[in-house]
Each structure stands twice: as C-alpha cells, then as structure tokens.
Chains A and B, each alone.
Chain A
Amino acid sequence: MSEYTCLIVEDSPMMRQLIVFALGRIRNLKVVEADDGVDGLKKLSSGKFDLVITDINMPIMDGLKLVKRIRTDAVHKEVPIMIITTEGAAEDRQRALQLGANEYVTKPIQAPQVISKVKQLLKIQ
C-alpha cells in the first residue's frame, strides 16, 4: 500500500520516465504524471499529494506559474515542491524559491541526488 503520492509535471516523456525510474527506488511511493502545468493542476485537484516535482519550461502553463498557483491553493498550499529544470542560473533558482519551491535541482539529474532530496521533503529516513 502506497503511503506517499508524488505528482510529476514534466513535458518531456523521456525525463518523466527517468524521474519515475529514479523514484521507483523509494518504497511506498506512488507516482502520478502530468504533461504541463494545467494538467498538473487538474491531477492535483483530483487527489491528495505529498510532493510535487515540476519542470519550469513547459507549454500552456510553466512550472513557476504552477508553483504560484499551488501556494495560493487552500488545499495544497503546504505540499512540498521540487523543481527539476535546465535553468541553472542563480537568479532562476532564487525566483523559484521565492515563489515557494522547496528544492531546486538542475538537469542533467543524478538519480541518487533526486532520491535523497525527495526523501528529505517527505521526511523519509
């Protein structure tokens, strides 16, 4: 039985698959996938999530807008958010964290690093 549910919002199927592979190593973690920010919001409203992982550059609604929307949502405003992006500039990181993201990871990702940060956010030993 899954104890935690994680929403992955990423437009690249390749990257989604890679993140799903990495998170598959965490026990009791169920993953739900979304293509972009809007799809992510729809999926978020349909259930309870313990973590959101999102890209920044996506069509329709980008990751930063998604973070903003989640942080003003009455139900999900407390959910931890991790950003995984190609944007490596310090100002991008700062902006994302200011908007309410909890973690900021740049691509290319290292699976152990992502796993470790996810565990930290979910408070898993």
Chain B
Amino acid sequence: MAETGSDNTSSRTDGTVRVKRGLAEMLKGGVIMDVVTPEQAKVAEDAGATAVMALERVPADIRRDGGVARMSDPEMIEGIKEVVTIPVMAKARIGHFVEAQILQALGVDYVDESEVLTPADEAHHIDKFAFAVPFVCGATNLGEALRRISEGACMIRSKGEAGTGNVVEAVRHLRSIIGDIRRITQSDEAELFQWAKSLQAPLPLIQEIAETGKLQVPLFCAGGLATPADAALAMQLGAEAVFVGSGIFKSNDPAPRAKAIVEATTNFEDAEILAKVSRGLGAPMTGIDMDDIDVRLSERGW
C-alpha cells in the first residue's frame, strides 16, 4: 500500500530498443497489408490487418512501370493515417536517411528500409540507431539479417520477391535464415567464428543465437504471398507474421481475400479452418515465374 507511486516522478524514456522491438512483438501472428489509398487502408483494417504499409504503388506496379521508386508523398501517407487506427508503416529507400527522417517527422509507426524502392546508396544502409521510430529491413539470409540488426533494425522480414505473387523466394529466404539459426545452435565455440566469417555478420550476434536459438528481433515474412495457404506456409516454416503486398489489392476481390489471409495467419496449423477460409475467394493475382522477371528486387541490399 505504502509502495504505490502516486507521486511518481517517472523515469520515462522513449525510443529504447525494447520499445522499438516491442511494437514488432505486438504485430506477431498478424498480417501487414500494402495499401495505396485511404479506401484500401479501410478495407485492410476492416479485414483485421494489424498494420498497413502506405505506399504509392504496390510492388507489382513498380515492377511493371519501371523507373525510380521513391518514398511516398507525405500527403498520401497522412491521408492513410487519418482513416485507420492501426499502425501505419511507410517505406524509405535503402540508405536514404533523409526519407527516413521525413517519415519519422510524419509520425509513421514503422519505417521499412526497403529493396522494393530504388536504392539511394549502394554501400550503406541507414544508421537505424539514430532514430526513435523503429525500422524493419528485408533479408535473404541470416548474414544479411544480422547486418541489418547490427545497424539497428528492430524487425526482419524475409524478402521474397515482391510483386510476383510467387511464394518460392519467400520460402527460400525463410528456410535459409531459420535453417542457419538451427545449424548455429548445433555448432561448437570454434565453429561460431567460422559462421561469423561466412555470414559476414558480427560474432557477438552469432554467439547470442547459439545460446538462444532465436533471431534477436521478430522475424516476419514478405514478398510474393498471395493466398491464405501461402500465409500459413510462411507461418509453419517459422515466420512470426506476414506482409502481403500486391497479393491482396491485385486480386479480383480484395476484401474477402484479405479477411481469409488474416484468419489463415491466426489458424496457420489448422487445416480445417484453412480449407474453409480458402473457398470461393475469386482469382488471386496472376503471378510471375522467377525465370520471367528482369529485376530481382531481393538482390538489393548489402
């Protein structure tokens, strides 16, 4: 009773690593959806999205249109922030720390330093510790994930191949990251030095994984997911949540598909529910085979 702090002169600290990673923890088990208009953002929230990614063009259109893809217009991001109550994320170009500064000033909840946009720096990623807003970064393998974490990323998403509607690359990247985590936990001390060298990743992070068996930050999956089954596949492979980009709003009937993907992500191990929610969703986005694409977005990032 006497302990109750009514006159808490509180030691409030914001922007800590725990606070930044904490929001990623809250998004686990959910679906983050790409949206390009406030109307789409409402559809996403109504379907049960845990967050929306506000961008000007979905990756399928960026791929089709070509040219330089940049941070979205602040007006468009603000329009989306106004209509939804869930967190709003937005993308900055790799290495473009000023776009990130602008996104932080706009009050977005998470910045995605994304290979889907045209990179601004071919050697350096953003120093993400310099920001109060948390960052998510893509990775194709564990080394890339750990380099991003060492720069301050608070969430990792496997890259997949955005805008293709083809899950094959997402599976490859998830298996690579999670497989190497498993192998590291079986390694002895001397082998950890070799892991650090071969993955080009900081040794202390490798040693930490050997001990905990887990990535330091939540691991989500992105890039090419188009169906409820794709989302459940990513979750069963070990992803902790999913991003769906073009897969929803490039399909014939986005709202029911968005809902179905949300339910599939929650019930990813229940085949009965997966069968039920997969019914009658109309045509998914057409999708592209990997042999037919000119630009591999996942190769961007260093």
- Our verdict on whether A and B bind, yes or no, reads no
Residues of chain B having any CB pair with chain A under 8 Å: none
